[in-house]
Structure 1
Amino acid sequence: MKTLITLFLLTASLSLVSCNDGKLEKNISMYEKTWNEIINNGDIHLINASNFIDDITLVTSPENIVGIDNFKAYYQNFITGFSDIKFTVIQVFGQDDNIVKHWNFKGNHTGDFFGIPATGKSVDINGVTLVKMKDGKIAQEEDFMDNMVFMQQLGLLPNQENIAIIDGIYEAFGKGDIPTVLGMMTSDIIWNESSSSSYSDGNPYSSPDAVLNGVFKRLGEDNDYFKLENIKLSALGNDQVLATLNYDGKLKKTGETYQTTVVHLWTLKEEKVTAFQQYIGLGKQ
């Protein structure tokens, strides 16, 4: 989608040549000022008959949004749904009554957004809007953005990039590269071992050092060998990854070998692990 937007902007910039008769400049000035006040300053009442034609139309699926009241109700979701909003027009150009706007929207999802309760997530999304003006007023808009990325940033869709991060952690652990594993944790990580594990006596481990000393070092002290096998990863919403796997180890004290089925639930934020929860499934075999 990002490539599509870039190609679209390039094509539009070549085909829409700015006019210097003052009409385009006036339209752009009015448009930018109006939306800056609406989004950045929260002045939703500027969606009115002075700035928009009566049958202002937002071209969208499954059906268009038509009329000032409906248009205002639609954008009210952004004003109430997000705080610390920063709406930036990156580039704007056009011809006559047609405007192309390349924009960026940042905000924190702290309120109801089209019925979606606050997630506390931050969004940073780029998009393009095609605009038609009429008699100095905004007549029609059509937005283009990557909705999947937007939903992922809200934690409502799985983020596949998290799979690669957790896969890298398991790979580093398998190589004995513990510093890399610890480096992927936030300083205030909340790490919990299964309640049936002897290492749960330190729950919750609240720092990488605590995990190192309370879990990883004890694994090395207690086992002749300890391996992770048959790792399967699934991306979840809310920046979480679910892992199912087997432990294969041999206890130093008794010489007993064991295989254990376990589940790990990882929670991430900004490519770092903020929380870990272990669940032991079948016990020793």
Structure 2
Amino acid sequence: MPPSAGTILRLWFEEVWNRKDVSLIETYFAPDGVTYALDLSGADARGPAAFQAFFEEFLASFPDIHFTVHDVVEDGDRAAGRWSARLTHSGDGFGFTASGETVTVTGMSMVRVENGMMVESWNEWDRLRLATACRMTAPA
């Protein structure tokens, strides 16, 4: 029996993000999966390769990111989690020079799981707090 949606959500944050194990993206993210509102602009990522490109660029900018999952609720094939992440803007990326600022952002993610893999995920997080704290503003 595959793991529950809540277990997959927790494993995603712990093993992929906190351990920075890029090899597990294809374990937890379905080949035809889509992650909605992923990046700083709110763009989507379709498939493991698209997510991996975002993941690697994000880690290049914020290599020390660490998530804490505070709550997870499950209902059948879906799970939602409330989390916080602490990160330092120590690398250039996304078109912005590293600021050296450390910030904590909060967010929520919901996943839909089939056969032990995420097929859809939705992400709402405090992009403005991250952009402001790290002085990631668009050039004039």
Identify the structure with bigger relative contact order (alpha carbons < 8 Å, sequence gap 6+): 2
What does 1:54-203 correspond to in 2, within 5 Å?
54-60=31-37, 63-157=43-137
Q: CA–CA distance in 2 between the matches of 1:59 and 1:93?
A: 19
Post-superposition offset of 1:62:
6.4
Post-superposition offset of 1:85:
2.2
Equivalent position amino acid for 1:66 in 2: R
2:29 matches 1:42 = no
Post-superposition offset of 1:63:
4.9
Q: CA–CA distance in 2 between the matches of 1:114 and 1:95?
A: 35
Cα pair distance change 1:63/1:33, threshold 3 Å: closer
Post-superposition offset of 1:75:
1.6
Paired residue for 2:29? 52
| Match among 28, 36, 45 for residue 6 of structure 2 | 28
1:54 partner SS: strand
- What is the aligned length? 134
TM-score (norm 2): 0.84
Equivalent position amino acid for 1:41 in 2: R
Q: CA–CA distance in 1 between the matches of 2:21 and 2:67?
A: 13
Contact 1:77 1:112 in 2 (8 A): no
Equivalent position amino acid for 1:72 in 2: Q
Larger Rg: 1
Cα pair distance change 1:144/1:63, threshold 3 Å: closer
1:84 partner SS: coil
Equivalent position amino acid for 1:26 in 2: S
1:152 partner SS: helix
Q: Which runs of 5+ in 2 are unaligned?
A: none
Q: Which runs of 5+ in 1 are unaligned?
A: 1-21, 158-285
TM-score (norm 1): 0.44
Post-superposition offset of 1:91:
0.6
Deviations 1:182-213 (A, max 9, x none): xxxxxxxxxxxxxxxxxxxxxxxxxxxxxxxx
Q: CA–CA distance in 1 between the matches of 2:55 and 2:90?
A: 16
Q: CA–CA distance in 2 between the matches of 1:63 and 1:34?
A: 20
Deviant stretches of 4+, over 3 Å: none
Deviations 1:131-169 (A, max 9, x none): 111111111111112222221111235xxxxxxxxxxxx
